[in-house]
Chain A
Amino acid sequence: EVRLLESGGGLVRPGGSLRLSCAASAFTFSTSAMHWVRQAPGKGLEWVSMISGSSGSFYYADSVQGRFTISRDNAKSTLYLQMNSLRAEDTAVYYCAKDRDVLSAFDIWGQGTMVTVSS
C-alpha cells in the first residue's frame, strides 16, 4: 500500500526549532517530487515547500522562506522539513504529500503531524 507517515511534531517555544520527517513506502520515492502542506487549526490548506526527486530544485512559500529547509534522503525514502525560528503562526498540522508529476496535484498524503508553537 502506498503510504506516507509523518513524525516529529510537538510543542515548541517561539524561536525554537523542530525537524519533521515523512517516511514513504510502496512507490518510487527517488523520482517523486514531494511537498509539505500545512493547516492551521480550523483554517484552510497552505502550501509550504516542494523538493524535486533529485533534490535539484526546491521552493518555499514566502511565509517560511529563510526559516524552513526541505530535504530528502532517497536511500531512506524519507522527506524532511527543518523548521527554525518558529512563530506562533506556524502552529498547524503539517502534511507531507507526493506530487502526481512535477508541480501538479498532490495525489498521496500522509496523516499529518501537529506542530504547536507556544510559550
Chain B
Amino acid sequence: DIQMTQSPSSLSASVGDRVTITCQASQGIINYLNWYQQKPGKAPKLLIFDASNLQTGVPSRFSGSGSGTDFTFTISSLQPEDIATYYCQQYDTLPLTFGGGTKVEI
C-alpha cells in the first residue's frame, strides 16, 4: 500500500496567516493527489483534485502543488471558517489511501 505522510499533524495560526501543509507519498504517484477539508461532525469536502486543480466553488485562497512524492497544500490567508482537519489522498494505486490529517486551529 502507498503510505501518505502528512505534516504537521496539527498547527495553530492567526487569521490572515499563510498556512502550508505537506504530504509525502511512499512512492511516486505522478499528480494523483487530492485534498479534503473536514469540519467537526461533518463529511469531508473536496478542495483540490489532481494535485493543483481547485474544485468548483472552492475559494481561491486554497491551492495545491507538487508531483511525484512531494505535495503541498496552502491557505494563502487563513480565515476563521477554515478551522478544520485537512487530508490528502492518493489514487495512483489501490487501495486508495489518505494521509493522517492536519488539524488547523486559530
Which of these, B32, B55, B95, contacts A47 with CB under 8 Å? Answer: B95
Residues on A with beta carbons closer than 8 Å to the beta carbon of B71: none
Contacts of A47 in B (CB 8 A): 95-98
Q: Give the distance in Å from the alpha carbon of A37 to the alpha carbon of B87 in the complex.
A: 13
A61 at the B interface (CB under 8 A): yes
Interface centre among A35, A47, A62 (most CB of B within 10 A): A47
**Cα of A66 to Cα of B32 in the assembled complex, Å:** 28
Instruction: Give the distance in Å from the alpha carbon of A61 to the alpha carbon of B98 in the complex.
Output: 13
Cα A61 to Cα B89 in complex, Å, equals 15
Q: Which residues of A contact B94 (CB under 8 A)?
A: 59, 103
B34 touches A (CB below 8 Å): yes
| Number of B residues with CB within 8 Å of any CB on chain A | 23
A44 on the interface (CB 8 Å rule)? Answer: yes
Given A104-B49, A105-B49, A107-B55, residue A46 in contact with residue B43 (CB < 8 A): no
Tell me if B95 and A44 are in contact (CB < 8 A).
Answer: no
A59–B91 CA distance with the chains assembled, in angstroms: 13
Name the CB-closest residue of B to A102.
Answer: B91
A66-117, CB < 8 A from B: 95, 100, 103-107, 109-112
Contact of A104 among B45, B91, B99 (CB under 8 A): B91
Within 8 A of B (CB), among A15-49: 35, 37, 44-47
Residues of A within 8 A of B89 (CB): 45, 105-106
CA distance A59 to B94 in the complex (A): 8
Residue in chain A with minimal CB distance to B93: A103
27 residue pairs A–B, Cβ–Cβ below 8 Å = A37-B44, A44-B87, A44-B101, A45-B38, A45-B87, A45-B101, A47-B96, A47-B97, A61-B95, A95-B43, A100-B46, A103-B91, A104-B32, A104-B34, A104-B50, A105-B46, A105-B55, A105-B91, A106-B34, A106-B46, A107-B46, A107-B55, A109-B45, A110-B43, A111-B42, A111-B43, A112-B43
